[in-house]
Amino acid sequence: MDQTIQAAALVTPSERQLVWQEMEFYGFIHYTVNTFTNLEWGHGSEDPAVFNPAELDASQWVEVCKSAGMKGLILTCKHHDGFCLWPSRYTDHSVKSSPWKAGKGDLVREVADACRAGGIRFGIYLSPWDLHEPTYGDSEAYNAYFLNQLRELLTEYGDIFCVWFDGACGEGPNGKRQVYDWDRYYRLIRELQPNAVISVCGPDVRWCGNEAGHTRTAEWSVVPASMRDNEKIQENSQQADDGEFAKRIHSQDDDLGSRDVIRDAGELVWYPAEVNTSIRPGWFYHAEEDDRVKTLDELLNVYVRSVGGNAAFLLNLPPDRRGLIHENDAKRMGELGQAIRNMFPVDLCAKATAAASSELDDRHGADKLFDGNSDTFWRPLEGMEQAELIIDLQEKQSFDAIILMEQIRLGQRIESFVLTWKDGEEWKALDQGTVVGYKRICRFGKVSARYIKLTITASRWFPTLRSFQAYLSH
């Protein structure tokens, strides 16, 4: 047994990472002075007087998110322009200097409260780059300023599921390049919100590598520890809104965790992927994009490839100048939620049984695939890296999707698999894939069969499977 591969099989997620992964799908809200100046990136010199939404309704944002099946919402509390959506004690460049609610408003509070009332979770985005703050570029002074603002957000708005940092970085007004004190940022978050994941420029959740909705064929959660520093390296950071950054897809980065990659990588960590994209071409609202909302098929494809490809899906919804998510976006979100529900209506494995080529013991038998318990799972004997499971649906059923889920509390192990269905005495191909991880959604043309076979053709040390589900979409 290759000791490196065995060690890789033992890398497991933290509890906060597990809770985050189970959210699967959540929203991004980009809203600031840019909404009113029709810019993607502000300049930091905007007059707070431009921020004055007349109909802002955070509960509408939450209801739109829920209509699509989202479990949370991340608010851009401060973008690169430095304008704060809460009345920060450390700057006047905030809602308190705007005419909105006569300077008495606090949008972060309104969104946090609306999330709690609506039963979804609340997260924050805080841009380290600040084009307004005069201390930016004076690294020690600005880091103190940033930590003060971060403390406000972490202590005054209840439980936070995610702190989302990007790595955009440019020169300050003094011509100096700011050096972010990431370790101090992380320590403060761990102290004040220990259950929050720190995403992208953080140790818990990694960026998939583009903002175009592109996903990898094999998305490994176990990757070299060096991946944690990729987005923090200043020379690779985004320094201008050039329109190309969002589209970049590095094909050479398609393999982050195969045996060949990790064998010489040194330390390995659990660092799962998040796929983020916007429902429109821009991240902030632009009226000229009202008819450029992504189609239902586009959104469904990203959902299946991300949530069904061992990643999470973060979809941006930019409210308009009224302070509402536009009718076109809201309609599409409702359609997306219905389409997802229609895709997976009733699990046809509710009464199924299964036979496995190997089982460790009775507590890890193939029957655990159908018990609905996220803590139980099937596994074979140690060292058995290939295995076979035959699922008996008890009667012939028609289906066009299968969902596989590993028990990732024990690591990510499955490297490749094949699905077949029994037609008379012949086994015919259904689908094949690489990794499974938290969830793998397999879609194919409708077939009718009683028996389905899952052949795990490669895994690390031994595979696990906590759930096998089959569906016929409406």
In this prediction, residue 241 has a pLDDT band, given cuts at 50, 70 and 90, of low
Contact yes or no for 85/95 (Cβ under 8 A): yes
Query: What is the CATH T-level fold of the domain 3-343, as seen in this structure?
Result: TIM Barrel (3.20.20)
In this prediction, residue 348 has a pLDDT band, given cuts at 50, 70 and 90, of very high
In this prediction, residue 240 has a pLDDT band, given cuts at 50, 70 and 90, of low
Integer Cα distance of 133 and 121 in angstroms:
30
Contact yes or no for 31/107 (Cβ under 8 A): yes
pLDDT score at 246: 46
pLDDT score at 252: 43
pLDDT score at 250: 44
pLDDT at 74 over 70: yes
Q: How does pLDDT run across 152-163, given as a tens digit for each residue? A: 999 999 999 999
Checking DSSP bridges between strand 440-459 and strand 387-405, what pairing results, if any? Answer: antiparallel
How many other CB atoms are found less than 10 A from the CB of residue 103? 13
In this prediction, residue 86 has a pLDDT band, given cuts at 50, 70 and 90, of very high
- % residues pLDDT > 90 (the chain): 85
Average pLDDT, integer, range 160-184: 87
Angle between helices 296-307 and 327-343 (to 10 degrees): 50
pLDDT score at 263: 87
Q: Which residues contact 373 (CB under 8 A, 6 or more apart)?
A: none
Residue with token string 């780059």? 129
In this prediction, residue 232 has a pLDDT band, given cuts at 50, 70 and 90, of low
Highest mean pLDDT out of 81-85, 165-169, 248-252: 81-85
pLDDT score at 215: 79
pLDDT score at 248: 44
DSSP H or E stretch at residue 400: strand 387-405
How many other CB atoms are found less than 10 A from the CB of residue 361? 8
Average pLDDT, integer, range 347-365: 96
Q: How does pLDDT run across 395-423, given as a tens digit for each residue? A: 999 999 999 999 999 999 999 999 999 99
pLDDT at 299 over 70: yes
Integer Cα distance of 339 and 365 in angstroms:
34
pLDDT score at 239: 54
In this prediction, residue 172 has a pLDDT band, given cuts at 50, 70 and 90, of low
Alpha helices in 227-295 (DSSP H): 259-262
* Half-sphere exposure at residue 98, Cβ-oriented, CA atoms within 13 angstroms: 25
CATH 3.20.20.105 matches 353-471: no
pLDDT score at 177: 85
pLDDT score at 116: 98
Q: Which residues contact 236 (CB under 8 A, 6 or more apart)?
A: 167, 230
Integer Cα distance of 229 and 180 in angstroms:
13
Checking DSSP bridges between strand 268-270 and strand 273-278, what pairing results, if any? Answer: unpaired
Reported in sequence order, the residue ranges of 201-346 that DSSP labels E, i.e. its strands, are 206-207, 222-224, 268-270, 273-278, 311-316
User: pTM of the entire structure?
Assistant: 0.95
Contact yes or no for 384/455 (Cβ under 8 A): no
Integer Cα distance of 201 and 233 in angstroms:
10
Residue with token string 């012939």? 396
pLDDT at 439 over 70: yes
In this prediction, residue 245 has a pLDDT band, given cuts at 50, 70 and 90, of very low
In this prediction, residue 243 has a pLDDT band, given cuts at 50, 70 and 90, of low
In this prediction, residue 249 has a pLDDT band, given cuts at 50, 70 and 90, of very low
Residue 155 tokens read as 């202590």
pLDDT at 444 over 90: yes
Average pLDDT, the chain: 93
Contact yes or no for 216/319 (Cβ under 8 A): no
Spell 366-377 as b/e; 16+ CB within 10 A means b. bbbbbeeeeebb
- 134 burial (CB, 10 Å; 0-12 / 13-18 / 19+) is middle
Q: How does pLDDT run across 118-151, given as a tens digit for each residue? A: 999 999 999 999 999 999 999 999 999 999 999 9
Residue spans of the domains in the chain: they are 3-343, 353-471
